Amino acid sequence: MNGTMLKVNEYFEGKVKSISFEDPVGSASVGVMEAGEYTFSTGVKEAMFVVSGALTVRLPGSEEWVTFNAGESSDVPGDSSFDLRVTEPTAYLCRYG
């Protein structure tokens, strides 16, 4: 893949780091989150796959927290924000759109 641009992203004082990229499927990012609580906003639909560790997610419009373990995923609607609780270092892959 010539011309692939990797963009390094850092959030929450370096506790969340990711690398975004484009591939034949579309836009994506891979990253790692340290233990903590985070709120993210997204402009487009997002599918978040847990690679290792676990993410406990409160999706938009819900009061319920749901835990996704390695090998599981959650979908987040576009133009929304969602909350995450992370109890151990967790690796993830996000697909956008």
User: What is the identity of the amino acid at 67?
Assistant: T
Q: What is the pLDDT of residue 1?
A: 44
Pick the CATH number of 7-96 from 2.60.40.420, 2.60.120.10, 3.40.50.620, 2.20.25.90: 2.60.120.10
Q: How far apart are CA 70 and CA 60, in angstroms?
A: 22
Q: What is the pLDDT of residue 96?
A: 94
Q: What is the pLDDT of residue 4?
A: 63
Q: How far is CA 50 from CA 1, 57, 86, 94, in A?
A: 25, 12, 11, 9
Q: What is the pLDDT of residue 23?
A: 86
Q: What are the boundaries of each domain within the chain?
A: 7-96
Spans of the chain below 70 pLDDT: 1-4
Q: If 0-12 CB within 10 Å is exposed, 13-18 middle and 19+ buried, where does residue 80 land?
A: middle
